[in-house]
C-alpha cells in the first residue's frame, strides 16, 4: 500500500511538474514575438526575383548572347505611380495599421551598372508618411515588349501621421511587371515590401501595390 501510495504521489508530483512546465512554456511562447509575416513577403519576393533573373540568363544563353555583357543603353525615365500602401494588414493594432493611398515619383537613370539601372525616388501617402530611397533594378525581357524588373533599395522613412515602421532606415525589395511601348514608355504593376531588417525595436513591415507609368525624359521635354 505504501509503495502504491508513493507511486500515486509520484505520479501526482510528475503531473504537477508537467503542468507547471507546460504553463511556463506557454507563457514564454506568448511573450515571444510571433514571426513577422513581413519576412514571408521578403522571402517570396527574393525567390521570385531569383527565378526571374535565372530565366533571363538561361534565355540569353540559349539565344547565344553573352550573359556577362553590359545591358543595352536606356533612356532616362521619369516614373509616376499611384496605388495602395500597407496592402496586407497584420493583426497588430498600432496606430496607422490600415491601408491608405500613396503616390510615387521615381527617376530611372540612363547609366548602367552592368545590367542594373540605378533608381531614386520618393513615396508619399495620404497620411503624410514619406519614404525617400535609392537603389537598383534589373530589367528582364520576355519577348520584345514584356518585362519583369526585380529591384532593391534603401532609404529614409518618416511616418508622419501614418504607420511607425520602427526605424528611419528602411529597405525596399520588389518586382514590377510592365509592357514597353514603341516610344520607350512602360506601363506596369509593382509590388514592394518595406522593412528595417530588424534594426529597430519593432519591424512590422508593409507592402505596397502600385500602377506605374515610366516615360522617357526626352519625350516629356518634347525632344
Q: What is the DSSP string of 42-89?
A: HHHHHHHHHHHHHHHHHHHHHTT--TTSPPPP---EEEEEEEEES-S-
pLDDT of residue 38: 54
- Does residue 123 contact residue 130 with C-beta atoms inside 8 Å? yes
> What percent of the chain is helix, strand and coil (3-state, nearest 5)?
25, 40, 35
d(CA 93, CA 208): 19
The dihedrals phi and psi of 193, each to the nearest 5 degrees, come to -115, 135
pLDDT of residue 37: 53
Q: What is the pLDDT along the chain (223 residues), one digit of tens a residue?
A: 344 433 444 434 444 444 444 444 344 334 444 444 557 888 999 999 999 999 988 988 888 888 778 888 899 999 999 999 999 988 888 999 999 999 999 999 999 998 999 999 999 999 999 999 999 999 999 989 999 999 999 999 999 999 999 999 999 999 999 999 999 999 999 999 999 999 998 899 999 999 999 999 999 898 7
Amino acid at each position: 500500500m505504501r509503495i502504491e501510495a508513493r507511486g500515486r504521489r509520484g505520479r501526482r508530483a510528475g503531473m504537477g511538474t508537467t503542468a507547471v512546465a507546460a504553463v511556463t512554456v506557454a507563457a514564454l511562447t506568448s511573450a515571444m514575438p510571433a514571426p513577422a509575416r513581413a519576412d514571408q513577403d521578403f522571402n517570396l519576393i527574393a525567390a521570385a526575383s531569383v527565378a526571374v533573373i535565372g530565366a533571363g540568363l538561361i534565355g540569353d544563353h540559349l539565344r547565344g548572347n553573352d550573359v556577362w555583357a553590359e545591358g543595352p543603353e536606356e533612356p532616362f525615365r521619369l516614373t509616376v505611380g499611384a496605388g495602395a500602401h500597407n496592402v496586407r494588414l497584420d493583426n497588430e493594432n498600432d496606430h496607422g495599421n490600415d491601408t491608405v493611398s500613396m503616390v510615387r515619383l521615381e527617376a530611372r537613370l540612363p547609366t548602367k551598372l552592368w545590367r542594373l539601372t540605378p533608381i531614386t525616388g520618393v513615396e508619399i501617402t495620404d497620411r503624410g508618411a514619406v519614404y525617400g530611397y535609392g537603389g537598383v533594378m534589373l530589367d528582364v525581357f520576355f519577348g520584345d515588349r514584356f518585362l519583369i524588373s526585380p529591384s532593391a533599395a534603401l532609404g529614409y522613412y518618416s511616418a508622419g501621421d501614418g504607420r511607425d515602421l520602427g526605424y528611419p532606415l528602411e529597405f525596399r525589395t520588389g518586382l514590377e511587371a510592365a509592357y514597353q511601348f514603341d516610344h520607350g514608355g512602360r506601363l506596369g504593376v509593382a509590388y514592394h515590401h518595406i522593412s528595417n531588417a530588424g534594426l529597430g525595436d519593432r519591424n512590422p513591415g508593409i507592402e505596397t501595390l502600385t500602377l506605374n507609368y515610366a516615360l522617357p525624359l526626352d519625350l516629356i521635354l518634347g525632344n
